[in-house]
Structure 1
Amino acid sequence: MTTQDSLNPEQGPPATGRVRVVSPHSAARRVLGGASVSEEVAEQSAVGEVMVQSLIRSQLRLALVVSIGFMVALMIGWSAIRWVPAFRTWQIMGIPAPWLMLGVGVYPVIGACAWLYVRAATKNENRYRDLVDEK
């Protein structure tokens, strides 16, 4: 008697060719389409890693653009002080205009750059979150 005969003695010899194997848990819930994007990110799989790296690259690119814009604004102010002689002699309430521009005028530029950066970074994060959450 073979091993297969001892398992089910009522059946004859095994069938040749294709055999269909079914699970006794055929009523179990089936998972369609594999893992979701949020699971991919949480498990740090290759797809999740690519998505996180994409977010990091977009935030770095944004930081570089805002930093370069801030530096350009500072260079324009410096150029006005350096190359426009009338600006150097101009005074507001007895205070030289270059001093006011460097001492006070830089802060609105810093505030504008910071506001733009936060706004754009939030948009990047929201796009990433929408992609991960699969809304």
Structure 2
Amino acid sequence: MTPEPPAGAGPGAPIPPRRVRVTAPIAQARRAPGRPVAGAVAELSEVGQVYVRSLIRSQLLLAVVVAVGFLLILLAFPLLIAYVPGLDQAEFLGVPFSWLALGVGVYPIILLSAWLHVRAAARNEARYLALVDGA
């Protein structure tokens, strides 16, 4: 079945391409629009409010743990350079090691901290949604 030219077009008119509907995969699908689950549960009962407070508390604890861990590792760089003899004099390709450690070595730690935080936060939310859906 071939598409037909638009109405009013001559016999040699180009045929426009068919429209294609692009949708997200089912695994990426979001919930139907409406009230968020957390808001609906919190409004229903005191138990729902306990669930929401529990989620907020677990997410806050996760953020504090990741931030403190990141800061401890970040503070370890200058301490390592200060207390390891000869490390402040070491060079790599003409660049002092301390500059490389503080200027470049921090970024993998930032990425690792962010990745761990996002993964753990998603796990917390998945547990919360499983708990709410079961309630």
Pairwise TM-score range, normalised by the shorter structure: 0.5 to 0.7
Q: TM-score, normalised by structure 1?
A: 0.68
Q: Deviations over 1:18-59 (max 9, x none)?
A: xxxxxxxxxxxxxxxxxxx97961525311111100000000
2:99 corresponds to 1:133 = no
CA distance in 2, matches of 1:104, 1:98: 10
Kindly report structure 1 stretches of 4+ aligned residues shifted beyond 3 Å: 37-40
Q: TM-score, normalised by structure 2?
A: 0.68
* C-alpha contact 1:38 1:133 (8 A) present in aligned 2: no
Q: Deviations over 1:68-91 (max 9, x none)?
A: 110110121111111123110010
Task: State the secondary structure of the residue aligned to 1:43.
Answer: helix
CA distance in 2, matches of 1:39, 1:96: 54
Corresponding position of 1:46: 46
The unaligned stretches of length 5 or more in structure 1 are 1-36
Q: Deviations over 1:95-116 (max 9, x none)?
A: 0000011111100000000000
* C-alpha contact 1:58 1:124 (8 A) present in aligned 2: yes
Q: Check 1:44–1:88 CA distance in 2 against 1; reply closer, same or farther (3 A cut).
A: farther
Corresponding position of 2:55: 55
Letter of the 2:96 partner, please give it.
P
Task: State the secondary structure of the residue aligned to 2:88.
Answer: helix
CA distance in 2, matches of 1:101, 1:39: 46
| Most deviating of 74-83 and 52-61 | 74-83
Aligned residues: 99
Corresponding position of 2:93: 93
* C-alpha contact 1:40 1:47 (8 A) present in aligned 2: no
From the CA coordinates, give the structure whose radius of gyration is larger.
1
Identity %: 53
Task: State the secondary structure of the residue aligned to 1:86.
Answer: coil
CA RMSD of aligned residues (A): 2.1
Alignment of 1:44-123 (within 5 A): 44-123=44-123
CA distance in 2, matches of 1:39, 1:70: 32
